[in-house]
A and B are shown apart, each in its own frame.
Chain A
Amino acid sequence: MDKQQILEKLAQAIVDTDPELARATAKEAIASGVSPLEAVEQGLSKGMGTIGDLFGRGEVFLPELLLSANAFNEAMQVLKPELEARKQQIAQTATVVLGTVQGDLHSIGKNIVATLLETSGFRVVDLGVDRSPLDFVQEAGKANADVIALSCLMTTTMPSQKAVIDVLKEMKLRDKYLVVVGGAPTSQKWADEIGADGYGQSAVDAVALVKRLVNKKK
């Protein structure tokens, strides 16, 4: 099998949500001298990209997304030591601190965004649910984050998204971070109203939005 075939097989293993195949192909890649960095970026990430697109179009659902991410991680267990041995690094576009805002315990939407961001090469710090405005600000500082992503699912917790932006302003840190919001009751209008940098209508949109904003800033 040539390099191109191996990379395609890696991508396919991810699309097929097959952890064994992903792991075996990763080994095969190393054995046949494919660079681990290339295996990740041209193989695994490509597969995740395909799954992400299918998910965005509603052709596959959350289980496939999670299982693909699982296959991705399986292959990474093989590739990561190789990357380290060669002192190679995956290009990390940016660090995103994300979580569900205070008063809100919903996690699924946020988890999907986290998974998609991670498999798109972002470093993700997931704060979990029901986190206070100050938590977001402090954790963003600790993680040296580029982006703060705020999720909420209830109309009654939308004000907690605004509260994070208010605290950033109050602490004169607003310009340090890109702040994006999402979740069923939110909208572009809401994002504009509270002074967020962007709004993602779906998880796939959210990833595209973060990519766009990060590139623009650079």
Chain B
Amino acid sequence: MLNFLDIYERALQGPIMTEQDFDLKVFMPALKQVTKQYGIQYDKENPVPSNDADADNLFRAAVDFLSRCGIYCQNTNRVMQFTQAEILQAVNEATGRCFAGEGDDARVFGMRKPDDPKVPWLHVGSGIVCTTEEMFTNLVEGYGSIAEASSISICALDTLRGIPVMAGSPAEIYAAIRGIKIGREALRRAGRPGLPIMNLISTSASAVTTIAASAAQFGLRPTDGWLVGAISEMKIDFGAMNKIAYLLNWGANVGAETSPILGGYAGGPASTAVVSTAYILMGLLVHKGKYQLTFPIHFRYGCSSPRDVLWVVAASCQAASRNIPMPVIWLGYMAAGPCTKMYFYEAAAYLLTATTSGAPSVQTPHPAKAVKIDGITPMEARFGVAMGTAAAKLNRQQANELVRQLLAKYESQIETAPTGSRYQECFNATTGKPGDEYVRLYDEVTNELAQMGLEIGD
């Protein structure tokens, strides 16, 4: 397998071109050709397809596409190129296992197949910005209190002693370190000191912050997980590569983070599915990821709940889980916010889609496109866990039917989705408990889902 220095060498030696030329003359034509050649087609009627042959065909298309397109390095302006043999070698040598957590919470994050009854790795929480340290603590303690949680994401802080946390500034370093300390402390309070934090470093955009906050004295361990981004589409920069170099040098878990955008450079659902699958290969080959977090979203709506995005998730998740041993966390962005019925419908649809398609892991679907400050509560996390567990009891055909019913409830509302409540509006900030209204709404929705035939627990 190519090691990371080999990857770096390709970033120095590949063909040189402007980023625009890469987009227009390499990425787009290669994607168009491959999508056509392999006959990848979107099936509007079936947001959750269930044809294994189609999934395997999509995998082969993704391998072919990655070998034709390569990955663009923004700093050297060169394209890192890989042969199909090199890509397949990385696939063959992958273990499909990530060791995460300590003590009682030390586990192996492994693979699932489509229609697999095994409950996925339940990754809870989000890196959504929150305004106060108290709320941060409450949220993380809330996530940690969910017994089924396998790992968590912690929040981001937006100011530090009133100083705005600007990317690349020293304030960002302080905020990231503070975030980790609060996160660990809250997990201790929840009685889960060993629970792995897998969205490190959530406050940070810059490599210097990620690396600074990872110093052992601030509480992180190699068995936590660090997210290192790719740039949409099929690009990377030295910032990300520096994080990888650092983490690999002391054996910490690298998590490749990718976000294919439907309706952007990747085009429609069929070609976006190719890109979405190719990203899992990139995570393995370029990032040297021990795990991956991916969230396909819609260019126009900024969320993952539209019908075509669900299809992309289903198709690429099936292609990857059948063929690429990479534990992937599938994350969805929802249009509606906390304390709205629509959020729950969207989240249910997303989790049914991903889980039955073989997602090794699902994360709490992010409310209100993850852009609303303080816009998340432990209630959504609880729902995600219950729904992920319920979905594992179903197969793709059953999920397809339910997703269609759910789409009927929210599909037309996506553009005008309610952004919902902020944490302090639907939770008691002191006790960390949900308000009565939210509890009522939650029960109502879970009853409704139970009537649709979903065995959703409490």
Whether B77 sits at the interface, judged by CB under 8 Å, is yes
Whether A108 sits at the interface, judged by CB under 8 Å, is no
Whether A170 sits at the interface, judged by CB under 8 Å, is yes
CB distance A171 to B16 under 8 Å? yes
Whether A167 sits at the interface, judged by CB under 8 Å, is yes
Which listed segment binds B: A53-61, A66-74, A132-140? A132-140
Q: Find the B residue at minimum CB distance from A170.
A: B16
Which are the 3 A-B pairs with shortest beta-carbon distances? A134-B77, A167-B16, A132-B77
Question: 8 Å CB contacts to B: which residues of A126-176?
Answer: 132-134, 138, 167, 170-171
Other-chain contact of B18, A102, A134, A170 (Cβ < 8 Å): A134
Q: Find the B residue at minimum CB distance from A171.
A: B16
B21 to chain A, nearest CB (A): 10
A157 to chain B, nearest CB (A): 14
Question: 8 Å CB contacts to A: which residues of B63-115?
Answer: 75-77
Which residues from chain B contact A102 at a C-beta distance below 8 Å?
75
CB distance B18 to A132 under 8 Å? no
Contacts A/B (CB < 8 Å), 14 sampled = A102-B75, A132-B75, A132-B76, A132-B77, A133-B16, A133-B76, A133-B77, A134-B16, A134-B18, A134-B77, A138-B18, A167-B16, A170-B16, A171-B16
Q: Find the A residue at minimum CB distance from B76.
A: A132
B439 to chain A, nearest CB (A): 55
A170 to chain B, nearest CB (A): 6
B14 to chain A, nearest CB (A): 11
Cα A171 to Cα B21 with chains together (Å):
14
A100 to chain B, nearest CB (A): 16
Q: Which of B16, B18, B75 is most buried by chain A, counting CB atoms within 10 A of its CB?
A: B16
Cα A132 to Cα B75 with chains together (Å):
7
The chain B residues found within 8 Å of chain A, CB to CB, are: 16, 18, 75-77
Q: Find the A residue at minimum CB distance from B77.
A: A134
Which residues from chain A contact B18 at a C-beta distance below 8 Å?
134, 138
- Classify chain A's interface size: under 10
Cα A35 to Cα B277 with chains together (Å):
70
Cα A138 to Cα B19 with chains together (Å):
12
- 10 more A-B residue pairs beyond the given contacts A132-B75, A138-B18, with a C-beta to C-beta distance below 8 A: A102-B75, A133-B16, A133-B76, A133-B77, A134-B16, A134-B18, A134-B77, A167-B16, A170-B16, A171-B16
Which residues from chain B contact A133 at a C-beta distance below 8 Å?
16, 76-77
Which residues from chain A contact B75 at a C-beta distance below 8 Å?
102, 132
Which residues from chain B contact A171 at a C-beta distance below 8 Å?
16
Which residues from chain A contact B16 at a C-beta distance below 8 Å?
133-134, 167, 170-171
B409 to chain A, nearest CB (A): 50
Which residues from chain A contact B76 at a C-beta distance below 8 Å?
132-133
Which residues from chain B contact A134 at a C-beta distance below 8 Å?
16, 18, 77
Q: Find the B residue at minimum CB distance from A135.
A: B77
Cα A171 to Cα B75 with chains together (Å):
17
Q: Find the A residue at minimum CB distance from B19.
A: A134
B95 to chain A, nearest CB (A): 36
Q: Find the B residue at minimum CB distance from A166.
A: B16
Cα A133 to Cα B13 with chains together (Å):
13
Q: Find the A residue at minimum CB distance from B17.
A: A134
B390 to chain A, nearest CB (A): 51
Cα A138 to Cα B77 with chains together (Å):
12
Which residues from chain A contact B77 at a C-beta distance below 8 Å?
132-134
A164 to chain B, nearest CB (A): 11
B207 to chain A, nearest CB (A): 14
A5 to chain B, nearest CB (A): 55
A163 to chain B, nearest CB (A): 8
B449 to chain A, nearest CB (A): 53
A105 to chain B, nearest CB (A): 14
Cα A135 to Cα B188 with chains together (Å):
50
Cα A133 to Cα B17 with chains together (Å):
11
B25 to chain A, nearest CB (A): 15
A126 to chain B, nearest CB (A): 21
Cα A133 to Cα B77 with chains together (Å):
8
Q: Find the B residue at minimum CB distance from A167.
A: B16
Cα A102 to Cα B18 with chains together (Å):
16
Q: Find the A residue at minimum CB distance from B75.
A: A132
B245 to chain A, nearest CB (A): 15
Cα A132 to Cα B237 with chains together (Å):
13
Q: 0/1 per residue, A86-111, Cβ < 8 Å to B?
A: 00000000000000001000000000
Cα A102 to Cα B77 with chains together (Å):
12
Q: Which of A133, A134, A167 is most buried by chain B, counting CB atoms within 10 A of its CB?
A: A134
Q: Find the A residue at minimum CB distance from B74.
A: A132
Which residues from chain B contact A167 at a C-beta distance below 8 Å?
16
Cα A133 to Cα B18 with chains together (Å):
11
Cα A171 to Cα B77 with chains together (Å):
13
Cα A170 to Cα B18 with chains together (Å):
14
Cα A134 to Cα B74 with chains together (Å):
11
Question: 8 Å CB contacts to B: which residues of A109-132?
Answer: 132
B10 to chain A, nearest CB (A): 15
Q: Find the B residue at minimum CB distance from A138.
A: B18
Cα A171 to Cα B16 with chains together (Å):
8
B48 to chain A, nearest CB (A): 44
Which residues from chain B contact A170 at a C-beta distance below 8 Å?
16
Q: Find the B residue at minimum CB distance from A134.
A: B77
Cα A167 to Cα B18 with chains together (Å):
12
